[in-house]
Amino acid sequence: MARAATTSDVFNAIAEPQRREILTLLRDGERAATEVARELGFTQPGASKHLRVLREVGLVRDRRAGKQRLYSLDAHGLRPIHEWTGGFEQFWNESFERLDAYVQDLKHTREKE
């Protein structure tokens, strides 16, 4: 089965670790492409390429500020990721509940000894 183009699917776009780094950086606020490149140790063209992909899939938005283009997270674009990962919340909650019950059983057994 052919893989979807990076720019057509949010999940393919975030499969690239450097793009995830950019998203993490943008959580703290708007940044220019040059600032993204400098802070993450990317080349300017590399940062711009990744930002373009993230913009095309709707994970970031940009605006002009003089000669600079500023990038920020687009919460609407993050929705599919949030919904997908949220589906695992019940799994993790149940796993932690089982672990907690196991630990409580161990404590209770040790107290009896």
Q: How far is CA 86 from CA 6, 25, 80, 110, 111, in A?
A: 23, 22, 10, 37, 38
Mean pLDDT of the chain: 90
d(C-alpha 13, C-alpha 17), whole Å: 9
The amino acid sitting at 24 is T
pLDDT single digits (tens) 57-112: 999 999 999 999 999 999 899 899 889 988 888 888 888 999 988 899 888 888 88
